[in-house]
């Protein structure tokens, strides 16, 4: 087993560190935040991720996992240093590599033995070449150092499972030494390994994420057309899913993709192409469709209602998807901003994401509107004039159609995740609007069965 250091304790770094420890490696995770390090040492995960906290506690207690702000001690005798820091999007769509550069210089000034540096963060093609040169420029000791690419393919909400049971592990190296070392580190996982050069590994990450984003935007585009021509997107998706060339995942129509990966990665690849004088028309289209899709519910509700001013608006779900507390690029952000501008009195429910959302919108007034956070769904619905569903949490899916009728002043529901059957909501006396489906009044007695195969999400 090897001595590993992991720079960064966000979704990428912390999950990787915990899972490496679970496989028997000696792991130390580095972060600049003392409070965050103390929190992890006490057995508390700073991010919500299924199964992560339990594995953190288990491996910390076993002595295989530790946390520190002392990067010099962590890096100096590590066999491998994994970089898992953020590469946030800049205004022009390019990736901000400042955190990568900071860690690279710290590594260069700290390592005292031969070391492999592995970039897990999502970075533009060619970045690993530059990182290796950057480390060489600042190297203090006469040691061998090489950089490899090892992009992550985890999905927030199932990150631990995705790491321990990955469909494949991608490693990008420029030498046999680096390739064999990474192969040995990943051997305990017993997973398929695809070994390519560094630039191919970097491109595989972007190409994979952007392809999935394309599928989502394509289905949302088709869903919008379905509403105009009288087709039902769930029946369409079900029919498509039996074609093995298409598959059953990522065919679920809704209000677009969010989170830390798809929006950032589509824009980054679009930017990279432009820098080389090329236009990725398909990726550009996916970005544009997704931008419009996020506020489609608000536009539907605006056509239905004269005004939101003074109305009680129930919001169910704030995170960009279930299973995570991440609100980055969540559809709720844009919609709630618009609703507050129009004077809505918002009562929002999300058992996991409310705390993060409240950092951006603390309880109180914003322009003509107000926002409050409630701890149960009934309080959000009580006396509400309209309800928006932005996240398909299990507790939201468990709400019976009749509940909207009982608690709401006007049982008017705009569902961005197509949780309910159209005919069931109609039977319960609820005016129900969803994405790409035939309104119950136009179904002519036909029951919309919906997609019964796996849909998938980021």
Domain assignment of residue 277, yes or no: yes
The long-range contacts involving 446-449, CB below 8 angstroms and separated by at least 24 positions, are: 447/421, 447/423, 448/232, 448/234, 448/235, 448/421, 448/422, 448/423, 449/234, 449/235, 449/238
Q: Low-confidence residues of the chain, pLDDT below 50?
A: 444-457
Domain match, 34 and 149 both? yes
CA 42 – CA 85 distance, rounded (Å): 22
Domain assignment of residue 29, yes or no: yes
pLDDT at 442: 57
pTM of the predicted model as reported, rounded to 2 decimal places: 0.89
CB contact at 8 A, 25 and 49: no
Range of the domain at 42: 3-196
pLDDT at 30: 98
Domain match, 231 and 137 both? no
pLDDT at 457: 44
Among 260, 291, 322, identify where a domain stops.
291
pLDDT at 133: 97
- Which entry of 19, 115, 261, 387 is annotated as an active-site residue? 261
Domain match, 219 and 287 both? yes
Q: Tell me the pLDDT tens digit for each residue of 247-264.
A: 999 999 999 999 888 999
Confirm whether 261 is a catalytic residue.
Answer: yes
pLDDT at 440: 54
> Tell me, what CATH number does 215's domain have?
1.10.1040.10
> Tell me, what CATH number does 108's domain have?
3.40.50.720
Domain match, 96 and 112 both? yes
Domain assignment of residue 447, yes or no: no
Q: Report H helices in 242-330.
A: 262-275, 281-293, 296-304
pLDDT at 123: 95
Domain match, 275 and 334 both? no
Beta bridge partners of 149: 119, 172
């Amino acid at each position: 087993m090897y001595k590993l250091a992991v720079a960064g304790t966000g979704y990428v770094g912390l999950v990787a560190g915990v899972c490496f420890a679970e496989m028997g490696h000696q792991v130390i995770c580095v972060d600049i935040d003392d409070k965050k390090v103390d929190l992890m040492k006490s057995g508390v995960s700073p991010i919500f991720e299924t199964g992560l906290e339990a594995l953190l506690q288990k491996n910390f207690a076993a002595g295989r996992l530790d946390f520190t702000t002392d990067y010099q001690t962590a890096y100096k005798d590590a066999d491998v240093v994994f970089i898992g820091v953020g590469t946030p999007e800049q205004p022009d769509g390019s990736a901000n590599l400042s955190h990568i550069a900071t860690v690279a210089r710290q590594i260069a000034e700290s390592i005292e033995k031969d070391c492999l540096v592995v970039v897990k963060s999502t970075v533009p093609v060619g970045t690993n070449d530059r990182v290796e040169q950057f480390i060489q420029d600042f190297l203090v000791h006469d040691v061998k150092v090489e950089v490899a690419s090892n992009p992550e393919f985890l999905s927030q909400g199932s990150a631990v499972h995705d790491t321990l049971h990955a469909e494949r592990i991608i490693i990008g190296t420029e030498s046999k030494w680096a390739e064999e070392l990474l192969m040995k580190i990943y051997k305990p996982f017993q997973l398929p390994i695809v070994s390519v050069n560094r630039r191919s590994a970097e491109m595989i990450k972007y190409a994979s994420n952007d392809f999935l984003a394309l599928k989502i935007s394509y289905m949302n585009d088709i869903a919008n057309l379905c509403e105009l021509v009288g087709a039902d997107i769930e029946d369409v998706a079900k029919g498509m899913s039996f074609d093995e060339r298409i598959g059953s995942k990522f065919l679920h129509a809704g209000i677009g993709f969010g989170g830390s990966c798809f929006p950032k990665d589509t824009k980054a690849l679009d930017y990279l192409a432009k820098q080389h004088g090329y236009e990725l028309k398909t990726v550009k289209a996916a970005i544009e469709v997704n931008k419009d899709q996020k506020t489609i519910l608000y536009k539907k509700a605006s056509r239905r209602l004269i005004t939101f001013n003074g109305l009680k608006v129930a919001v169910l779900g704030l995170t960009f998807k279930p299973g995570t507390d991440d609100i980055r690029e969540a559809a709720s952000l844009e919609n709630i901003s618009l609703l507050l501008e129009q004077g809505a009195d918002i009562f929002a429910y999300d058992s996991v994401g409310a705390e993060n959302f409240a950092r951006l919108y603390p309880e109180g007034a914003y322009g003509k509107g107000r926002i409050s956070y409630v701890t149960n769904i009934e309080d959000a619905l009580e006396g509400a004039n309209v309800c928006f569903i932005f996240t398909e949490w299990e507790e939201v899916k468990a709400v019976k159609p009749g509940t909207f009728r009982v608690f709401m002043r006007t049982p008017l529901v705009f569902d961005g995740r197509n949780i309910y059957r159209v005919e069931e909501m109609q039977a319960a006396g609820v005016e129900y609007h969803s994405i790409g489906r035939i309104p119950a009044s136009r179904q002519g007695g036909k029951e919309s069965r919906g997609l019964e195969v796996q849909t998938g999400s980021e």
